[in-house]
């Protein structure tokens, strides 16, 4: 017998069930209290908690993934498995339930949950790889011409005909980074599923839990279920090994393509810097022209202004009048003031550091 209770979860990791209700369900399962830590800390991985008969707790197992978590106990005397399915990021309960229904004849052993989760992981990873990772890789490879499907001639033609936009390259690099992250996550979950299958095989060889099952039809069903699952494990292991190699190949393609995009991004950035340098050169040339024109007209402007000063009477014998000193009395201090302000503004950091240092020396 197998019973699973589905519990939803909010984005802030809060379970959509009351604390009293969850603890009542946990107590009814007779689960090891140590498993509560795995639920509260949102742990990933596979864990087993074995208990003595004196504690009153049943053998407890916990599996955590990025999409869901399952906590279940097994009562060997009744050959009954009771568990809690905790939805994390995506609702996969019905997909897992469908796999469990396929292997319903093997529910006499608690390892049917491990086996079903491993099958579910393989199916989900195959679907996600085709729909997401492989689609992104092929899209970027098709636009750039770099990849196992693009020839050298086609690649060179694309490079000559198309100049990539920097924002476009940045978006592609972000997509490839996400692909690499998801592939790493799939590989991590595959290792956990492989560990569960290894434990299933060892359980079939040791027969520890079988000894706790009462003799008779119940034990026969338990042994038959465990033997059936153990025979199917090598097939799953071979499929997981092939999937692991394919994921490693996709990871390699993503890393190589990221290097190509980085080279493109560097090239486009260098081209943009060259264009900016050319524009700056043109601006500098324009400023130089303006400066030369200003220098050409500056003497004439100065003498025109000087000759227009009322203190100079060019029609009289005494050209310089008695009040001409007023011109210099205002001009020279104003010029000195302008230069002082300019020096202060351009050297303000140095002046500030000197003042701070002097103030600290005074305090000492």
Contact 110, 81 (CB under 8 A): yes
Phi first, then psi: give them for residue 7, nearest 5 degrees.
-125, 125
Q: Which pLDDT score, from 0 to 100, does residue 61 have?
A: 92
Largest CA-CA distance found in the chain, in angstroms, rounded: 142
Q: Hey, CA dihedral for 179, 180, 181, 184, is it positive or negative?
A: positive
Q: Which pLDDT score, from 0 to 100, does residue 153 have?
A: 47
Predicted TM-score (pTM) above 0.75: no
Say how far apart CA 224 and CA 138 lie, in whole Å.
46
Contact 261, 144 (CB under 8 A): yes
Q: Strands 60-64, 45-49: parallel, antiparallel or unpaired by DSSP?
A: antiparallel
Contact 189, 92 (CB under 8 A): no
Contact 91, 98 (CB under 8 A): no
Among 107, 140, 237, 247, residue whose Cα is nearest residue 185: 247
69's CB contacts (< 8 A; 6+ apart) are: 38, 39, 42, 43, 62, 63, 85, 86, 88
- How do the pLDDT tens digits run along the chain, 364 residues long? 788 889 888 877 788 888 899 899 999 998 999 898 898 888 889 998 877 667 788 889 999 988 889 999 988 888 889 999 998 877 788 888 899 899 888 888 888 999 999 999 888 888 888 778 888 888 888 877 777 765 554 555 555 456 677 788 888 888 888 888 888 888 888 899 999 999 888 887 766 566 667 778 888 888 888 888 889 899 999 999 999 999 899 889 888 888 888 887 787 777 777 778 888 888 778 888 888 888 888 778 877 777 777 777 777 777 777 777 777 788 888 889 988 998 888 888 888 888 887 777 665 4
Q: Which pLDDT score, from 0 to 100, does residue 209 have?
A: 64
Q: Which pLDDT score, from 0 to 100, does residue 345 have?
A: 87
Q: Which pLDDT score, from 0 to 100, does residue 150 have?
A: 57
Q: Which pLDDT score, from 0 to 100, does residue 362 have?
A: 61
DSSP state letters, 2-48:
EEEEEE-B-TTS-BSS-HHHHHHHHHHHT--TTHHHHHHTT--EEEE
Phi first, then psi: give them for residue 343, nearest 5 degrees.
-65, -40
84-127, pLDDT tens digit by residue?
999 887 778 888 889 989 988 888 888 899 999 999 988 888 88
Q: Is 56 helix (H, G, I), strand (E, B) or coil?
A: coil
- The DSSP 8-state label assigned to residue 165 in this structure reads -
| Cβ density class 105-134: b for 16+ within 10 Å, e for less | ebbbbbbbbbbbbbbbbbebbeeebeeebe
Among 52, 42, 118, residue whose Cα is nearest residue 87: 42
180-199, pLDDT tens digit by residue?
888 888 888 889 999 999 98
């Amino acid at each position: 017998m197998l019973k699973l209770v589905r519990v939803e979860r909010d984005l802030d990791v809060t379970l959509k069930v009351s604390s009293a209700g969850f603890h009542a369900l946990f107590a009814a399962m007779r689960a090891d209290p140590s498993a509560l830590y795995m639920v509260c800390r949102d742990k990933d991985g596979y864990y087993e908690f074995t208990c003595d008969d004196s504690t009153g707790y049943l053998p407890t197992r916990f599996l955590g993934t990025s999409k869901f978590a399952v906590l279940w106990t097994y009562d060997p005397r009744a050959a009954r498995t009771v568990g809690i399915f905790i939805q994390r990021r995506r609702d996969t309960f019905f997909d897992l339930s469908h796999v469990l229904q396929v292997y319903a004849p093997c529910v006499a052993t608690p390892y049917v949950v491990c086996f079903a989760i491993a099958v579910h992981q393989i199916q989900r990873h195959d679907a996600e790889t085709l729909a997401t990772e492989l689609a992104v890789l092929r899209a970027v490879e098709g636009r750039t011409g770099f990849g196992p499907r693009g020839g050298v001639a086609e690649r060179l033609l694309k490079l000559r005909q198309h100049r990539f936009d920097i924002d476009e390259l940045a978006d592609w690099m972000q997509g490839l980074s996400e692909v690499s992250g998801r592939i790493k996550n799939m590989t991590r979950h595959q290792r956990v599923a492989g560990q569960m299958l290894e434990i299933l095989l060892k359980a079939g060889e040791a027969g520890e839990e079988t000894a706790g099952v009462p003799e008779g039809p119940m034990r026969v069903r338990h042994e038959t279920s465990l033997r059936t699952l153990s025979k199917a494990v090598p097939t799953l292991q071979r499929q997981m090994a092939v999937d692991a190699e394919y994921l490693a190949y996709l990871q390699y393609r993503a890393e190589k393509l990221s290097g190509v995009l980085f080279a493109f991004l560097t090239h486009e950035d260098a081209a943009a810097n060259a264009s900016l340098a050319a524009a700056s050169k043109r601006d500098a040339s324009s400023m130089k022209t303006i400066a030369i024109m200003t220098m050409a007209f500056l003497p004439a402007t100065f003498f025109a202004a000087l000759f227009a000063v009322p203190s100079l009477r060019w029609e009289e014998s005494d050209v310089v009048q008695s009040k001409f000193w007023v011109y210099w009395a205002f001009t020279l201090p104003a010029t000195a003031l302008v230069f002082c302000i300019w020096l202060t503004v351009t050297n303000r950091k140095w002046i500030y550091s000197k003042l701070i240092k002097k103030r600290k020396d005074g305090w000492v």
